[in-house]
Amino acid sequence: MVKSMGYFVFVVLLTLAPICFSHKPQVGYLFPQFYDHSCPQLQQIVKSIVAQAVARDRRMAASLLRLHFHDCFVKGCDASLLLDSGEGIVSEKESKPNKNSIRGFEVIDEIKAAVEKACPHTVSCADILTIVARDSSVIAGGPSWEVPLGRRDSRGASIQGSNNDIPAPNNTFNTILTKFKRQGLNLVDLVALSGAHTIGNARCVSFRQRLYNQNGNGQPDFTLDPAYASKLRNQCPRSGGDQNLFFLDYVSPFNFDNSYYKNILANNGLLNSDQILLTKNQESMQLVKQYAENMELFFDHFAKSMINMGNITPLTGPKGEIRQNCRRINSY
Q: Which is nearer to ligand HEM, 35 or 69 (CB)?
A: 69
Residue 158 near ligand HEM by CB under 6 A: no
Among 42, 62, 77, 159, the residue binding ligand HEM under the rule CB under 6 A is 62
Residues 171 to 190 in contact with ligand HEM, rule: CB under 6 A: 176, 190
Size of the site for ligand HEM (CB under 6 A): 26
Residue 199 near ligand HEM by CB under 6 A: yes
**Which candidate in 23, 37, 68, 70 is catalytic?**
70
- Amino acid of residue 89: I
Among 30, 39, 45, 66, the residue binding ligand HEM under the rule CB under 6 A is 66
Give the torsion sign (CA, 270, 105, 323, 35).
negative
Beta strand spans in the chain (E) = 201-203, 245-247
Contact window for ligand HEM (CB under 6 A) among 195-203, 227-235, 284-292, 323-331: 195-203
Q: How far apart are CA 109 and CA 143, in angstroms?
A: 25
CB of 90 to ligand HEM, least distance (A): 20
- Annotated catalytic, 70? yes
Q: Is 198 annotated as a binding residue?
A: yes
Core vs surface per residue 244-262: b (16+ CB within 10 A) or e? bebbbbeebbbebbbbbbb
Residues 227 to 286 in contact with ligand HEM, rule: CB under 6 A: 248, 271, 273
Question: Minimal CA–CA distance to 289: which of 300, 275, 278?
Answer: 278
Residue nearest to ligand HEM (CB): 200
Q: How far apart are CA 233 and CA 231, in angstroms?
A: 5
Q: Which is nearer to ligand HEM, 183 or 329 (CB)?
A: 183
Q: How far apart are CA 175 and CA 196, in angstroms?
A: 19
Q: Which is nearer to ligand HEM, 177 or 329 (CB)?
A: 177
Query: For residues 47 and 53, is the Cβ–Cβ distance under 8 A?
Result: no
Query: For residues 91 and 85, is the Cβ–Cβ distance under 8 A?
Result: yes
Q: Is 197 annotated as a binding residue?
A: yes
Residues 91 to 120 in contact with ligand HEM, rule: CB under 6 A: 101, 103
Residue 202 near ligand HEM by CB under 6 A: yes
C-alpha angle with apex 49: 312 to 41, nearest 5 degrees? 75
DSSP assignments along 176-215, one per residue: HHHHHHTTT--HHHHHHHHGGGGSSEEEGGGTHHHHH-TT
The four Cα atoms 201, 222, 69, 48 give a dihedral, to 10 degrees, of 30
Residue numbers in the known binding site are: 71, 74, 76, 78, 80, 92, 167, 197-198, 249, 257
Active site residues: 70
Which residues are near ligand HEM by CB under 6 A? Answer: 59, 62-63, 65-66, 69, 101, 103, 167-169, 176, 190, 193-194, 196-197, 199-203, 206, 248, 271, 273
Residue numbers in the known binding site for Ca(2+) are: 71, 74, 76, 78, 80, 92, 198, 249, 257
Residue numbers in the known binding site for heme b are: 197
